[in-house]
């Protein structure tokens, strides 16, 4: 018993090994064996009426048309207000991000203000000591990956690629070859723009006497505008977490990041009221409560004279920025409108094409259904065979016809017909006749074989 079990086990192992090796050979040959077998046997193609196929195609086209219609509904006409996004860092410094989040930060050193995903606009800001708080004392912008324009309020100097630049008021310089520029639009104002549409406006107030009393010569107030198409990866204009990271590479004299805990003394009601009146006189509207509150803090921290100066510069900058932004936003709105119209026209075309396809497929389905109804729904009994098998069959049939002539009455289909012909006859559902030696061959079979031999 043990020997017989061992023999059976060995046979099973041999069979498994043979099957695995056959699979490996099959894989190496790229499935040639299977293809050859399929060609010899041929395949049955079920040829129906084609109504279902046409209906499925029509349904697909209808779904496509519906999706395109939904996209068209979602498309919104762009306006100057929806096209622009803005960020600001004013006073000591009060930040408003692109998303509208407001926060204050009193650290000193170099920080990333904003960095676009395409790398065409990178802005770094430097914060310095200002009494018990801090203010922007330097700004550096890399435009179109080409050049870096920088301004330092303490030295009152401009720098281009870390070299001193004499930039007079009203003068404009091009940076790179893509259309980026820097313009000193007034004595204490700078505009920097890049090819992707991002635009930084900076204004400053400075006095050498502030260095002894407050720690820095002056403060820079920054506004950054960009089209909504431009995305931003990091910076104080994107998230408050950027206060934990320092910026290296743009400033000509890098200063490391320092976070100092500063406690601002609580002002009295009189101080608050005086600061409030001063801010309103300077031109800051009462409706803008957040702006007014930050102005009050700036006046209390900086003192009456310097606070008044800061309030005036912020108010002026705000008015100028509003006017410029309106013009700038209109330009970008026009560009956005062109894109919107093109997109809308393309979607309408696609929707119409999908509707036409759906109509055509439905008409096809109707025609095929009519044809099927006329024929009585009968399916064709044709057998599809590959071109190679057909050529073999032709040769084989010709050979067998010659042999049949030679043999005459001795011809017997069961004996003389080849395997290939027998397989084709099975597919055609034709049985070979059981005829004795003296009986003649079935003429119907030969006629059918002759049909196969024809084109």
Each residue's pLDDT tens digit, 218-268: 889 998 988 888 899 889 999 888 888 878 888 888 888 776 656 566 777
Mean pLDDT on 71-78: 74
Distance of CA 139 to the CA centre of its chain: 32
Phi, psi of 114 (to 5 degrees): -160, 145
Q: pLDDT category, 439, cuts 50, 70, 90?
A: very low
Single out the residue of 292, 355, 347, 344 nearest to residue 318, CA to CA: 292
* pLDDT-derived band at 438, boundaries 50, 70, 90: very low
**Contact status, residue 220 vs residue 88, Cβ threshold 8 Å:** no
Mean pLDDT of 127-148: 89
Q: What is the pLDDT of residue 105?
A: 84
Backbone conformation region of residue 134, classed left if phi is above 0, alpha if psi is from -120 to 50, else beta? beta
Mean pLDDT value of segment 382-396:
65
Rounded to an integer, what distance in angstroms lies between the CA atom of residue 21 and that of residue 42? 26
- Kindly report, residue by residue over 183-222, the tens digit of the pLDDT: 998 888 999 999 888 999 998 888 888 888 888 888 899 9
Q: How confident is the model at residue 369 (pLDDT cuts 50, 70, 90)?
A: confident
| Neighbouring residues of 137: CB distance < 8 A, sequence distance ≥ 6 | 126, 127, 128, 152, 153, 154, 216, 217, 218, 219, 220
pLDDT value, residue 453? 56
Angstrom distance (rounded) from CA 39 to CA 46: 17
Token readout for 222 is 């920054």
Average pLDDT, the chain: 77
Bridge partner list, 172? 183
Q: Using one digit for the tens of pLDDT, what is the confidence trace for 138-173?
A: 999 999 988 999 999 999 999 999 899 999 999 999
CA 21 to chain centre: 47
Rounded percentage of the chain residues whose pLDDT exceeds 90: 15
**What integer pLDDT is reported at residue 298 of this predicted model?**
76
Question: What pLDDT, on a 0 to 100 scale, did the predictor assign at position 257?
Answer: 76
Place of tokens 């200063």: 255
**DSSP symbol at 301:** H
Write the CB contacts of 243 (distance below 8 Å, at least 6 apart in sequence). Answer: 105, 107, 111, 236, 259
Token pair listed for 72 = 């068209």
pLDDT at 49: 57
Helices within 29-123 (DSSP H only): 32-41, 51-74, 80-83
Q: 271 CB contacts (<8 Å, ≥6 apart)?
A: 300
Using 50, 70 and 90 to split pLDDT, how confident is the model at 269? Answer: confident
H/E segment holding residue 416: helix 413-416
pTM of the model: 0.55
CB atoms within 10 A of CB 414: 10
pLDDT at 22 over 70: no
Q: Which residues are registered as beta bridge partners of 221?
A: 203
pLDDT of res. 137: 92
Q: Is pLDDT at 114 greater than 90 in this prediction?
A: yes
pLDDT band per the 50, 70, 90 thresholds, residue 23: low
pLDDT(380) > 50: no
- Across the range 64-74, mean pLDDT stands at 80
Please tell me the distance from the alpha carbon of residue 202 to that of residue 89, in angstroms, as a whole number: 10
């Amino acid at each position: 018993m043990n020997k017989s079990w061992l023999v059976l086990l060995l046979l099973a192992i041999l069979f498994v090994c043979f099957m695995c090796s056959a699979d490996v050979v099959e894989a190496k040959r790229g499935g040639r064996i299977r293809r050859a077998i399929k060609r010899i046997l041929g395949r049955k193609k079920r040829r129906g009426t084609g109504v279902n196929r046409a209906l499925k195609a029509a349904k697909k086209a209808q779904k496509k048309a519906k999706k395109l219609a939904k996209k068209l509904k979602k498309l919104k006409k762009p306006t100057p207000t929806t096209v622009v996004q803005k960020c600001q860092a004013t006073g000591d410094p009060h930040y408003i991000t692109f998303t509208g989040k407001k926060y204050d930060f009193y650290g000193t050193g170099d920080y990333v203000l904003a960095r676009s995903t395409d790398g065409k606009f990178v802005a770094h800001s430097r914060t310095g000591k200002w009494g018990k708080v801090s203010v922007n004392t330097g700004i550096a912008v890399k435009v179109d990956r080409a050049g870096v324009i920088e301004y330092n309020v303490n030295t009152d100097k401009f720098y281009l690629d870390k070299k001193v630049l004499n930039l007079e008021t009203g003068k404009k310089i091009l940076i790179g070859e893509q259309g980026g520029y820097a313009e000193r639009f007034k004595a204490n104002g700078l505009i920097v723009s890049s090819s992707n549409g991002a635009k930084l406006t900076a204004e400053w107030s400075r006095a050498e006497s502030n260095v002894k009393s407050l720690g820095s010569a002056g403060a820079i107030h920054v506004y950054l505008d960009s089209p909504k198409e431009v995305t931003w990866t990091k910076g104080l204009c994107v998230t408050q977490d950027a206060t934990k990271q320092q910026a290296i590479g743009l400033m000509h004299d890098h200063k490391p990041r320092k976070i100092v805990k500063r406690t601002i003394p609580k002002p009295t009601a009189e101080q608050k009221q005086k600061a409030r009146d001063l801010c309103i006189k300077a031109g800051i509207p009462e409706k803008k409560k957040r702006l007014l509150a930050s102005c009050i803090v700036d006046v209390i921290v900086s003192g009456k004279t310097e606070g008044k100066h800061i309030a005036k510069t912020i108010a002026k900058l705000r008015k100028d920025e509003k006017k410029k932004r309106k013009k700038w936003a209109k330009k970008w709105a026009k560009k956005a409108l062109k894109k919107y119209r093109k997109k809308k026209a393309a979607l309408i075309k696609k929707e119409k094409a999908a509707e036409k396809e759906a109509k055509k497929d439905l008409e096809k389905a109707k025609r095929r259904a009519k044809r099927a109804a006329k024929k009585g729904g009968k399916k064709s009994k044709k057998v599809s065979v590959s071109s190679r098998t057909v050529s073999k069959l032709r040769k084989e049939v010709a050979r067998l016809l010659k042999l049949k002539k030679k043999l005459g009455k001795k011809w017997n289909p069961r004996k003389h017909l080849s395997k290939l012909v027998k397989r084709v006859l099975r597919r055609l559902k034709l049985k070979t006749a059981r005829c004795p030696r003296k009986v003649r061959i079935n003429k119907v079979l030969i006629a059918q074989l002759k049909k196969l031999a024809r084109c």
